[in-house]
Amino acid sequence: MPEKKATVFIVDDEPMLNEMLSDYLTNNNPGLFIKTFPTGEACLESLNEEPDVIILDYYLNSREKDAANGIDILKEIKGRKKAVPVIMLSSQGSYGKAAQTIQYGAIHYVIKGREAFREILELVEANI
Amino acid sequence: MLVDLSYLKTFTKGNEIKFKRYIRLYLDDAPGTFERMRQNIQDKNWTDLGINAHSLKPKTDFMGIASLKEILMQIENGVKQEQYGELKMLYDKALEIHQEAVVVLNREVD
């Protein structure tokens, strides 16, 4: 019987980044099942699917001003599913932001860029 | 070199469909961000200008447009340091580089 794939949610309002990260993870680990979401709200609606890891962008409202930001979504996820590991993404290396996300329960804070894909894969594999 | 696609070529491992797909995603997406930034400057909405510059930055990195990434970082820093007087000039410079890069990128997907 085939082993069940680990489910990874990617939440980013940037379609290009969602797709590149999704492709990278599945190409490098066929044991992953990826679902992408353009908003945090859409991710929350699917939390009952029991993701093994969530990759969550810090800025989720650069396009839709009414969309919740990553920190609010992180708090909501942790309120509902305390045990699910959340990896936060940002384009900015800010100690304050990183500390804030860790304080609210993220396991790691990754800076978006060329080196981020490998780092995220390693974090996902370490947490499934 | 204005646009260096060597990273994207390595990332897509010779998959021409994916290579073109990512370039098209950038070409579809970036003009909207520039339009939002233009509006942010008009409205003096510096916070959103910083957020929009911030969101575009990694995509320019993947497309290998280093000079544009550099200007976007300057816009972000200008917002942080409240040096608002320079932001319009930086935006104009960023838009000029973007428009030149679009010509190069369009050749890749044609």
For chain A, what are the domain ranges?
27-47+56-112
Residue A121 contacts by C-beta under 8 Å, 6 or more apart in sequence?
A24, A25, A28, A29
Interface list for B 7-46 with A (CB within 8 A): 7, 11, 18, 21-22, 25-26, 29, 32-33, 36
pLDDT at A60: 84
Q: Which token pair is B93? A: 């410079």
User: Above pLDDT 70, what percent of chain A?
Assistant: 95
Q: Which fold has domain A27-47+56-112?
A: Rossmann fold (3.40.50)
Q: Which residues contact B4 (CB under 8 A, 6 or more apart)?
A: B64, B65, B66
What confidence category does residue B3 fall into, taking pLDDT thresholds of 50, 70 and 90? very high
In 10 A of CB A69, how many CB atoms?
15
What per-residue confidence (pLDDT) applies to A90?
85
Distance CA A115, CA B106 (A): 26
**CB–CB of A19 and B62 under 8 A?**
no
- Give contacts of B29 with chain A, Cβ < 8 Å: 14-16
pTM (2 decimals)? 0.91
pLDDT (average), residues A33-49: 96
Of A16, A59, A113, the CB nearest to B25: A16
Q: Which residues contact A120 (CB under 8 A, 6 or more apart)?
A: A21, A24, A25, A55, A87, A89, A110
What's the CATH architecture for B6-109? Up-down Bundle (1.20)
Please give, rounded to a whole number of angstroms, the shortest distance from the CA of B25 to a CA of chain A.
6
Q: Looking at residue A2, what is its pLDDT?
A: 66
Reply yes or no on whether the pLDDT at A65 is more than 80. no
* HSE-up (13 A, CA, CB side) for residue A128: 23
Over residues B16-32, the mean pLDDT reads: 96
- Taking an 8 Å cut-off on Cβ atoms, the answer to whether B18 and A24 are in contact is no
ipTM, 2 dp:
0.89
Residue A53's nearest CA partner among A12, A90, A83 is A83
Smallest CA–CA distance, residue A48 to chain B, in Å, is 29
Whole-number mean pLDDT of chain A?
91
* pLDDT in the model for residue B87: 97
Query: In chain B, pLDDT over 70 holds for what percent of residues?
Result: 100
A72-85 mean pLDDT: 95
Q: What's the pLDDT band for A93 if we cut at 50, 70, 90?
A: low
Chain A hits for B55, CB-CB cut-off 8 Å, are 13-14, 59, 62, 91
Q: pLDDT confidence of B14, banded at 50, 70, 90?
A: very high
pLDDT at res. A1: 60
**Once rounded to an integer, what is the mean pLDDT over residues A18-47?**
96
